[in-house]
A and B are shown apart, each in its own frame.
Chain A
Amino acid sequence: MIPEPRLVEVRKNVLKQNDVLARALRERFREAGVLAISLVSSPGAGKTAFLERTLTVLRAHYRVAALVGDLATENDAARLARSQVPVRQIVTGTVCHLEAAMVQNALDAWNLRDLDFLFIENVGNLVCPSSYDLGEDLRFVLLSVTEGEDKPLKYPTIFNSADVAIITKSDLATAVDFDEAAANRNIQAVRPGMQVLKLSAKTGEGMAVFVEFLEKHRLRSLSAAAVRT
């Protein structure tokens, strides 16, 4: 006789392990008073150039560091090291996204209390990173003007998982007939109310507004942490 199968209730998140680690990281960031920001975008949207400029601007007034994910090379870390802040490369091998455990391991040798801002550059990919919480306070999704205005509609999940959209390479907008209104409309369709910033890492246009945004957010998160403790 074939025994009857037994049905059991489970109700467990598949990425529970990642979620638990991400929550622990978020708590560590909060306790150390560091604002953690991750960047996601397609390959070539300008994450590294944008980050290089951001690190260079911020380091005059703040203690900043960056983790940068890449499939195969350490080129990005070498580029970012030019901004003279601590940078660590996470080479993911064949993995197309960062996970909380990779961030945790990469942070091992750093004392987070020595930092005001921590940037985490994800692997260039608009699909897979959307499933993984890294414990960041803010997730920025970058969209370059050369990519086309309909990227948000093609990749709604990653836009939905992010907190702020940043339109990069604004210096090229005219050359490629970038329709900013359409891009904004598409972003709002997949993530209603999302804040959108536009800038150029090359010319510096929009960087002051961006830095002001970061500073405001940092103060807000520090005062929220102070209220809690």
Chain B
Amino acid sequence: MHELSIAMSIVDLACEEAESHGAPGVDVVYLKLGPLSGVVKEALLFSYEIACQQTPLEGSKLLIEEVPIVVNCPVCRDRRSVQSLQSLCCVECGTPTPEILEGRELMVTAMELRT
């Protein structure tokens, strides 16, 4: 379980951002999370609360947007989603597709700052 260390990285990043905007605190951190990031949402939410303690983020919320895997299907020649994490095949034509375009995200996209 490495979600606590990930949560601490989120807190560090958010503190830096808040400081650069001269904000005294943070209400919400928005995070994009892909299935191939290797991070479990529930464990991350649990760890986040702990990581926020005694920081300017104490009491803030982490809003996680789970995004799907998107591949480039060589047969459809287009962006496609896959059957599942256990079957990286194009949902339209069934072709196995190793070329992953999205799905590894572990990204802070936005924040709501206290003013």
Contacts and interface: CB of A to CB of B under 8 A. Distances in A.
Given A13-B107, A189-B86, A158 B115 contact: no
29 contacts: A4-B115, A5-B113, A7-B110, A8-B111, A9-B110, A10-B13, A10-B30, A10-B108, A13-B107, A14-B6, A14-B10, A14-B107, A15-B9, A16-B13, A96-B2, A128-B38, A130-B36, A131-B6, A131-B38, A156-B86, A157-B85, A160-B88, A188-B96, A189-B87, A189-B88, A189-B96, A191-B88, A192-B89, A194-B98
A84 to B, nearest CB: 34
Given A5-B115, A97-B2, A131 B107 contact: no
A191 B112 CA distance: 38
Interface of B: 1-2, 5-6, 9-10, 13, 17, 21, 23, 27-28, 30-31, 35-39, 85-89, 96-98, 100, 106-115
Interface majority SS (helix, strand, loop, mixed), chain A: mixed
A157 B69 CA distance: 12
Contacts, number: 109
B22 to A, nearest CB: 10
A219 interface: no
Interface string A182-193: 000000111111
A17 interface: yes
Interface residues of A, number: 35
B5 to A, nearest CB: 7
Interface in A184-229: 188-194
A225 to B, nearest CB: 24
